[in-house]
Amino acid sequence: MENSGAIILAAGKGTRMGLEYPKVLAKSDEGELLGILLKEVTSSPIKEIVLVVGFQANEVIDFVKRNFNDPRIKFVIQEEQLGTGHAVKVALKSLGDVSSVFVLLGDVPLVKKESLRLLLEHMRKHDHVACFYSMLVFKNNEYGRVIRDFYSGRVISIEEYRHCTSYQKLIREVSTGVFVFDFQSLNQVMNETGEYLLESCRSRNIEFYLPLILDVFAAKGMLYDAILTENSDEFVGVNKKEELTELNLALNRMRINKFKESGVEFRYPETVYVSPATQISENCVIGPHVYFFGENRIGAGNAIEGFTYLYDVSCGNKNLIKAFCYIEGARFGDSCVIGPFARIREGTKISDEVRIGNFVETKNAELATGVKVNHLSYLGDCSIGAKSNIGAGTITCNFDGFSKHFTKIGSECLIGANVNLIAPIEIGSRVLIGAGSTVTKNLHDGCLFVERADSKLIDGGFEKYCQRKKK
């Protein structure tokens, strides 16, 4: 590849996507389409890169210059967008001393440099003048169909979808649009026939498609071939909004596969979303319908059971997150158990060996080592000391209608069920608060606090109540 050039076609309007800017600047989960492709191409040893621009050319050029300071990149303006063949014809004049040239599409951004290397090696090994990737697509699509000889299986041509017969539209093998050419052969044929092909297409009111060059090769007895790829994700093209969704799904599958290779287990990977900025360490187990958004840092040996949403979460090691949890902007230590049905909101800092059970909500809360909050509690704007136990139904009443107030609970406290802590308030260490209490004042270390309303017991009260209601 060291003596190869690359032509990237990026002149299209993206009419079918309804965009007001160039299609190659459409954003995927990992950034602009053209940015993804250029990042891969510029990391390869390709000698020269010619970018063909057209529609809103200045915007594309500005984007590339802002993001890629690479002297190999040149720009060629295709004044009229007359087809992929015309774009290559325009770009060839800007290539210098190269032996081969790749032709890539700015809206097919996921192709890898290793795949380009294999394509080039295949062409050279078989002494062909061109080679391209094909793939099998079983749902309705508008890719160009690969036409093969029925007996030999040799590629005869690529037929653009809009020109296919009804029979040809049933063919499942399609062109990806990713080519490599012997530079001298392509340049020679383009110089000899390029103008004729362009005028012929104009007279028929069709575009000058690059595959027409293959027909000229065939007429001259020059051989070319196709490699049928098994990884169609790498060649997803974007011409419609729904295809941008398909591209994002392909990117997600690629990220998941990379984590699999590093020792992460996904029970049902087709149901999981992993954002580009998420990091997951080895020996983690990810259940079904887990969604990682934003920047997440997941340590080693964690298990996330399923149906859980994580956004900007930093998680230590060997934690268990049970099903149906919603976690955002939180930090975890090690060996914690969270959920099921827990909501951990922004500002929550959880130390080691903490237990947060079902229907517990935290916000701006700091829980020290060994804290247990097993049921039905709200902990907002508070800190809780080590090994304290928070009973079911406990609420830190932090909002007075105008301002938020803080609750501080010391270590080794036992807070009974259905306790209201009216902030601002400070509870010392080793404090026992009886169930049903409402606490409005600070409590010192080692005390017992019980609040009970007056109660009445009326013998025969049930019958008296019923008789009064019947009157």
The pLDDT assigned to 469 comes to 84
Q: How far apart are CA 289 and CA 291, in angstroms?
A: 6
pLDDT of residue 374: 96
Name the band, by pLDDT with cuts 50, 70 and 90, for residue 335: very high
Alpha carbon dihedral 120, 198, 163, 103, in 10-degree steps, equals 20
Percent of the chain with pLDDT over 90: 88
Exposure letters 378-409 (e unless 16+ CB within 10 A, then b): bbbbbbbbbbbbbbbbbbbbbeeeeeebebbb
Number of neighbours of residue 217 by Cβ within 10 angstroms: 19
- Which is higher by pLDDT, 471 or 320? 320
pLDDT of residue 432: 97
Q: Which of 470, 452, 462, 10 is nearest to 238 (CA)?
A: 10
Q: What is the pLDDT of residue 228?
A: 96
* pLDDT tier for residue 426 given thresholds of 50, 70 and 90: very high
Report if residue 188 sits inside a domain. Answer: yes
- Residue 141's domain comprises 4-235
pLDDT in the model for residue 210: 94
- In this predicted structure, what is the pLDDT of residue 142? 85
Task: Note the pLDDT of residue 454.
Answer: 80
Tokens representing 426 are 């400070």
pLDDT tens, 216-250? 999 999 999 999 999 999 999 998 899 999 999 99
Select from 365, 316, 366, 309 the least CA-distant residue to 337. 316
Residues 389 and 285 reside in one and the same domain: yes
Whole-number Å distance between alpha carbons of 369 and 353: 6
- Residue 282 clears pLDDT 90, i.e. is over it: yes
Q: How far is CA 241 from CA 67, 244, 247, in A?
A: 25, 5, 10
| 218 assigned to some structural domain | yes
pLDDT (0 to 100) of residue 120: 97
Same domain, 312 and 444: yes
CB-count burial class (<10 Å; 0-12, 13-18, 19+) for 412: middle
Cα 142 to chain centroid distance, Å, stands at 25
Q: For 372-405, what is each residue's pLDDT tens digit?
A: 999 999 999 999 999 999 999 999 999 999 999 9
- Catalytic option among 86, 126, 128, 375: 375
Mean pLDDT of 406-411: 98
Based on the fold, state whether residues 229 and 329 are members of the same structural domain. no
Of 352, 320, 324, the C-alpha closest to 337 is 320
User: Does residue 415 lie within any of the structural domains?
Assistant: yes
Q: Which amino acid is at 32?
A: E
Decide which of 190, 220, 235 is a domain's last residue: 235
Q: Tell me, what's the pLDDT at 441?
A: 95
Known active-site residue 375:
yes
- As beta bridge partners, residue 132 has 179, 226
pLDDT given for residue 456 in this prediction: 85
Q: Are residues 79 and 140 in the same domain?
A: yes
Query: Do 311 and 176 reside in the same domain of the chain?
Result: no
Tell me the pLDDT tens digit for each residue of 449-468: 999 888 888 899 898 889 88
Whether residues 313 and 272 share a domain: the answer is yes
| CATH number assigned to the domain comprising residue 284 | 2.160.10.10
Q: Give 375's strand partners.
A: 358
Q: Please compute, for residue 317, the number of CA atoms within 13 A of its CA located in the half-sphere on the CB side.
A: 5
Inside any domain, residue 219: yes
Please report the DSSP string for 383-435 in residue order: EE-TT-EE-TT-EEE-B-SS-B--EEE-TT-EE-TT-EEESSEEE-SS-EE-T
Q: Which residue bears the tokens 């268990």?
A: 320
Asked if the structure places residue 240 within a domain, the reply is no
| Gyration radius from the chain CA atoms | 33
Could you tell me if 154 and 11 lie in one domain?
Answer: yes
- Same domain? For 306 and 202 the reply is no
Q: Does residue 292 contact residue 312 with C-beta atoms inside 8 Å?
A: no
- Sign of the dihedral defined by the CA atoms of residues 49, 50, 52, 57, in that order: positive
Please compute the mean of the pLDDT values over residues 306-327 and round it to a whole number.
98
Q: Are residues 51 and 165 in the same domain?
A: yes
Distance, CA of 32 to CA of 60 (rounded, Å): 11
pLDDT in tens, 341-381: 999 999 999 999 999 999 999 999 999 999 999 999 999 99
Question: Among residues of the chain, what percentage have pLDDT more than 70?
Answer: 100
- Any residues with CB less than 8 A from the CB of 219 and at least 6 apart, and which? none
Categorize the per-residue pLDDT at 260 as very low, low, confident or very high, splitting at 50, 70 and 90. very high
Considering the domain architecture, whether residues 204 and 108 belong to the same structural domain is answered as yes
Largest CA distance in the chain: 111
Q: What is the number of structural domains in the chain?
A: 2
Residue 246 lies in a domain: no
Residue 52 has pLDDT above 90, yes or no: yes
Domain assignment present for 253: no
What's 184's domain CATH number?
A: 3.90.550.10
At residue 362, what is the residue type? T
Residue 462 within any structural domain of the chain:
no
Measured CA to CA, the distance from residue 442 to residue 409 in angstroms comes to 10
* Segment (H or E) for 224: strand 224-228
Q: What is the mean pLDDT of residues 412-418?
A: 97
Q: Are residues 210 and 262 in the same domain?
A: no
Q: What is the mean pLDDT of the chain?
A: 95
Q: How far apart are CA 21 and CA 116, in angstroms?
A: 29
The answer on 231 and 264 residing in a single domain is no
In b/e form, how buried is each residue of 163-175, taking b as 16+ CB within 10 angstroms? ebeeeeeebebbb
Check: CB of residue 207 under 8 Å from CB of residue 82.
yes
Confidence of residue 33 (pLDDT cuts 50, 70, 90): very high
- Predicted pLDDT at 139: 85
Q: What is each CA distance from 303 to 57, 338, 377, in whole angstroms?
A: 48, 10, 24
